[in-house]
Structures are given as C-alpha cells and as structure tokens.
Amino acid sequence: MRRAGRRCRDDHGGHVRWVSYLPPTGGSERAGAIDDGCVFGHPGGRELAGLLDADTEAVRAAHHEALEHPSEIIVEFETRLCAPLRPTGPVPIAVSGAPQTEGTVDAALVRGTDDGAPMPKGARTLTAMLGAAALVGESGRLLGFTAACLWRADDGRTAALSTGPVLVTPEELAEGASVQIEAEVDGEQVTRAQVALPDAGLVEQRPGLAVNLTSATRPLEEGEELNVDAGELGIFEIRVGAQA
C-alpha cells in the first residue's frame, strides 16, 4: 500500500524512476515510467527487466517513449505495483556493516510492496529488515536499485522479501553509495539508518538481485502498518498479515 494522493505530482526530485505494474484493464505485468505522480505505461507492453536490459541510450529512448506515447496514464496510488524484477535463483542477503553475506532467500518469496506481508501459519509476529536491492538483467547489466524489506516470523522462518515500489536507474544512483531509510509504525520510529547500495557482482543467477539490509525492527503484530521512507527509492506502506 502507498500513501494516497488526489492528483499527479512530482515528489521525488526528478529521478528517473520505473515501475512494474498490472494494468487496470487486465493482462500481465508491464513496464511504466513515473512522472508527476503518475504511471505512464510503456507502449511496447514489455516487462520491466527485459525493457531495461539494454544500453543507456536505449533505456533513455524507452523512457521518452513512455512519457510521449504512453499506452495509458494512471495515478500512481491507484496502480497495482509489482516486484520490479522476478529473480530466477536464490537472492543473496547481507546486513549492512556485517563482514559476510547472511544467506539467501528463495526467489519464490520475492513480492511487490502492494502484495502485503503474509503471516506464516502458526506465527504471531513479524520483524522487518529494511534496505536496498541491486537488480541485474539476464545479460549481466546492472538495471538499477530498489527498496527491499525482508520479513521474518518469530520462529525464524522467512515470510517474504518485499521489493519496490520503484526502480531507480544506475545513472541516478552510483553503486556503492548509500541511501537513508526511515520507518515508523503508528508514529513510533522503528528504523533509521544509512544503507549501502549492494554490489551487483553478488548476483550469480540472472536475472536476479542482491540485497543489503539494516538490523530488524521490533516484532510487529498482525494489522500493524509499516510506513517506509527510502529516500530516492520511494515511499510505501505495508500492513503486517495482509495478502494481495
């Protein structure tokens, strides 16, 4: 879930941002560019990772096509946003400041920020580890960066890895730089940290992604809503226990 607005507006400082979304008329996931708070559907109807797995000039041309000849224009908060990339293999996870990779997450657990945070059967709470993800195309090219949130149940099981809502291209954010991420629940700040953008070289199976995270929040109960501000990587809300 995202904070609702009433009209299109620009809140993100001019960064080139892309989304993967489901068109309201039905059909499969497709690429769209964000501008003035609206989603401009790319006229080719392609999925995002395939569209951006090209050289810089081709990506710029695709962005121009989306803004000048959109297949549709939808207010962003009315759009069902999906994970920017569907990985083909395990996702390497690292915790910011830790010397080694913490482990991997099954590709099937990757979901979009509009897909909620499912509560596994028998679990009572979830914790959230927020951070950033580097997305790599089938060719090995760095496609860009997005926000990430790893959800874990109180018994240690991984519930989901939320990614999105937007993808910011590499020209906008340098690999190895950092972004500030803040999160609150009912006005209580539960996360505030600088997170380094991940090393795309960690991605072994392509297309895929690598994730760098902060330490976990306090346990969150079903129904609580996590409000995240990931700076250049966007803002979003996810309700604990919600399903798409």
Task: Summarize pLDDT for 158-188 with one digit per residue, the tens.
Answer: 999 999 999 999 988 876 789 999 999 999 9
CB 131 within 8 A of CB 228: no
Least trusted range by pLDDT, from 7-11, 55-59, 210-214, 231-235: 7-11
Task: Summarize pLDDT for 190-236 with one digit per residue, the tens.
Answer: 999 999 999 999 999 999 999 999 999 999 999 999 999 999 999 99
How much is the pLDDT for 14?
53
SS3 22: strand
Comparing CA positions, the residue from 187, 199, 207, 102 lying closest to residue 150 is 102
CB 76 within 8 A of CB 64: no
C-alpha to C-alpha distances, 160 to 48, 83, 163, 242, nearest whole angstrom: 21, 12, 10, 12
User: Whole-angstrom Cα distance, residue 68 to residue 23?
Assistant: 18
User: Whole-angstrom Cα distance, residue 67 to residue 54?
Assistant: 18
- pLDDT of residue 99 exceeding 80: no
CB 203 within 8 A of CB 134: yes
User: Whole-angstrom Cα distance, residue 143 to residue 53?
Assistant: 6
Residue range 109-118: average pLDDT? 96
CB 234 within 8 A of CB 219: no
In this structure, the number of other CB atoms found within 10 A of the CB of residue 204 comes to: 12
- pLDDT of residue 7 exceeding 50: no
Percent of the chain that is helix, strand, coil (3-state, to 5): 15, 45, 45
Cα angle at 227 between 225 and 233, to 5 degrees?
140
Q: Is 26 exposed, middle or buried (0-12, 13-18, 19+ CB in 10 A)?
A: exposed
Tokens of 26: 């039905």
Q: Name the band, by pLDDT with cuts 50, 70 and 90, for residue 76.
A: confident
Where does 69-137 have alpha helices with state H? none
Mean pLDDT of the chain: 91
CB 195 within 8 A of CB 145: no
Ordered by where they begin, the domains of the chain are 17-82 (no CATH), 91-239 (3.90.850.10)
